[in-house]
Structure formats: structure tokens, C-alpha cells
Amino acid sequence: MIDFDLTQNDRKILDTVRREALVARTYARHYDEHEHEFPPDTLPEAKDFPDTWSLFAGRTDQDTSMGVISLLMLMGQTWGDYSVRMRRNKGGLGNAALRAAGTPEQQVKWGDLTLAMAITEPGCGSDSAGVQCTAVLDGDEWVINGEKIFVTTGCRADGVVVWATLDKSAGRAGIKSFLIEKGAPGFVVAHKEKKLGIRADDTAAYVFQNCRIPRGNLLGGDESIPREGSGGFRGVMKTFNMTRPGVAAIGLGMAEAALDFTREELEKAGVEIQYGPGIHGQSAVAQKLLRLEAQFEAAKLTTLHAAWLGDQRKPNNDEASICKAKAGAAVREITQGCIELLGPMGISRDHLLEKWFRDVRITDIYEGTGQIQRLILARSILGYSSKDLK
């Protein structure tokens, strides 16, 4: 049945997330201003809280499905702060790729490590098929050469999933993913980026210079090579259907924080905000806030819908792009609009609104820009290939 109400079990989990988020928020400014300091794996206050995952015991199929509740949790966490979490989640984007495409042996060997994902290069971003980083098989080892940039949590990670090409002339078909551990010979973390926002999450640049890794580190195993068009590229694109709603949720948690803060401050200042009246019944300021709230709600629901489809084991390629594109645009509009509504207070670093404005901006860029999402979606609804619509 169609329902949007949370169950008691759902609420119990989200209430706990909210309590933690309120603590995380007290650290938000510090790690924003100390970009190169890592927040601890566990904040001191965390030991007083129950582990959120322990609350999953006793859930039934009458409760909200796993993918959906996980996104609501993620939103709840980033409502506190993007990257200060009470307990750092094990696993980065590379772990999602490992789960999607790794062999059983690889899952065992690499599953407990935090794995970053290195796709982008100085010369290729959205056009990820244009990878220049190479992999050459030499006896029982792969030799990796090339540069990677914008590697999220690349400094903290224990290892990384790297995209490299076996044959540049083969385009996408030539691209494979490789598991590389920190400390591998010829693997250098070149530097850490200084960013507009999400500063507590490190972003690294890598250099691979004749970096030799065992043959078994090819993600998906040797079998992924002969099968044309399978494995590597498609395997990783599949990952995005799971991570795009997650990225949308991360941005939306911060946008919700901005909306909540703005509403509270406006109400303190005597602005009345009601849902009943039409445009003649309340101020332009109140109407603007409600408009932004509607944008938030629409983006949130498209995001939950994409996750819900995943939970039902239904295809969600279109919906993953829809929510990412919608949220990417909505969080920008919301945070920009909130600053407009609060004026000088909105840009003061005494408050977090200006930080949320900076933090959310990446939402429409990483994991595929809004334009890439529209391209994917447009091809799908038009029945076009990537050749038909470039």
C-alpha cells in the first residue's frame, strides 16, 4: 500500500540518529576550520549512546525497508554535520564497488578495509570512459601507471579501487577496476585538496608509478577480462544506482538543517509561517520559505523512491538519476534562498548556514553532475543510445 508514515521502530532509530547528530553538530565548525585534522573515529560523547545498528534488532517487514530507512538515517546524520559522525562508518565508495563486483575471495580479503574509489583524473571527470591510467599484466602482477584526483577519503582509506585501462583504443570495454592497498610500491598519496566545503572529509590526489600489485587484485577476478562489455565498467556503473540516492540524501540532510535553522530564526524574529493561507494570506518571506520546503520535500521523496525500488529489487536506473538531479538542484536553491531570507545572519560564520551553503554545493557535482544525470535520464526516456544523444 502507499504510505508515508514512519513506524515506531523507524522513529526509535531516527530519534537516536538525531541525538547523535546534535552532538556532531557541536564539532562541525571546528573541523570546518581545521581542514587537515581528522575527526576521531568515535566522538567522546558516543559511548553514552546505543549503537544505532543495534536498534535494527526487532524490526519486522511492517517497518520501512532497509534502503529507505538507511537513507533517512544518512539524512539525519548529515543534518548534524556532513562529515563529523559519532562513529565513522566503515567503508567508502570503493566498498560499494567491492560488494557489487568483487569475487567471494576478494570480499573476504578486502571487506574489512575502508576503500576509496579513484576514477577521476586531471584530464577526465564526468567522461569516465576516457581514463588514461594504464594497467599492464607482467607475469603474475599488474603494473599500474597514472594519476588520480578528487579521491574522496583518499587519505584516510586503507586502500582504493582504481579504474585503469588495459587498452585505450577499446574505450569503455578496456577499463577495469583494481584493488590497491596503501603502501603498495609506486603508490603515492600526492596531496590533499583544499575545498569550498565538506572540509572534514579529505580529498586526495594519487600518483601510480610502476605500481605493482598481485594479479588477483583485478576486481571481479580474471573472468572479468574476456567477457566483453561486462565486469569493469558496467559493474561499477551499477554501483552508482546505489550510491546516487545516498549522495542525494547527504545533501538533503544539510538542506533540511538550513531550512530548520532559517524557519526558527524567522519565527524568533516574528515572521509567521503557516501552511493554510494562499499568496494573499502571508508574507513573501513566509511563502519563499514554504516554496523551498516543497522543493526539499519533493527531492526527498524522489530519493526515497529510488531506494524503495532498490529494496523491492526493481530497476531504479532512471530514479537514481532523477533523485540525484533533483536533489542536486534543490539543495543549492534551498541554501542560497535561506541565506537570502536571513540576510547578514545568513553569511555570518557565527552560524552554520554559510557552511551548509558551501557543503551542499558538491551534491550536484560528485557521483555524476546534474547534467550527466539528465543525459542518462534523457537517453532512457527517449530510447536513445549514447551515440544517439551525446
Partner 1 sequence: MISFGPTEEQELVRETLRDFAQKEIRPLARECDETAQVPDAVLDAAWSLGLTATQIPETYGGAGEARSPVTNVLALEELAWGDAALALAILSPSSFALPILDMGTEEQKKTYLPLFTGERFHAASLALCEPSPTFDALDLRTTAEPKGDRFLLSGRKCFVVLGDRASHFLVVARASGREGFAGMDAFIVPRDAKGLEIGGTEKNLGLRGLPTSSLVLDRVEVPAASRLGGDAGIDARRLVASSRVGLAAAMLGLSRAVLEYAIPYAKDRIAFGEAIARRQTVAFWLADMRIEIDGIRWLAWQAASVLERGADATREAHLARGYAAEASMKVADDGLQVLGGHGFIREHPVELWYRAARSLGILEGTVAI
> Which lies closer to partner 1 via its Cβ, residue 181 or residue 297?
297
DSSP state at residue 276:
S
- With CB under 8 A, what is the number of residues at the site for partner 1? 53
344-380 per-residue burial string, b: 16 or more CB within 10 A, e: under 16: ebbeeeeebbbbbbbbbbbbbbbbbbbebbebbbebe
| 367 in active site | yes
Q: Which of residues 310-369 bind partner 1 (CB under 8 A)?
A: 312, 318-319, 322, 325-326
Q: Identify the residue among 26, 291, 315, 348 touching partner 1 (CB under 8 A).
A: 291
DSSP state at residue 284:
H
Segment interacting with partner 1 (CB under 8 A) among 2-10, 23-31, 77-85, 161-169: 2-10
Does the footprint of partner 1 cover residue 304 (CB under 8 A)?
Answer: yes
Cα→Cα distances 367→37, 61, 125, 234, Å: 25, 31, 10, 15
Whole-angstrom distance, CA of residue 303 vs CA of residue 248? 7
Q: Identify the residue among 298, 315, 340, 348 touching partner 1 (CB under 8 A).
A: 298
Please report how close the Cβ of residue 292 comes to partner 1 at its closest, in angstroms. Answer: 10
How many alpha carbons fall within 13 Å on the CB side of residue 96?
Answer: 18
Does the footprint of partner 1 cover residue 248 (CB under 8 A)?
Answer: no
Burial class (CB in 10 A: 0-12, 13-18, 19+), 315: exposed
Residue 175 is which amino acid?
A: I
Q: Which of residues 251-280 bind partner 1 (CB under 8 A)?
A: 275-278, 280
Q: Identify the residue among 47, 62, 140, 343 touching partner 1 (CB under 8 A).
A: 62
Active site residues: 367
Which residues of this chain interact with partner 1, rule CB under 8 A? 1-7, 10, 62-65, 68-69, 275-278, 280-281, 290-291, 293-295, 297-299, 301-302, 304-305, 308-309, 312, 318-319, 322, 325-326, 371, 373-375, 377-379, 381-382, 384, 388-390
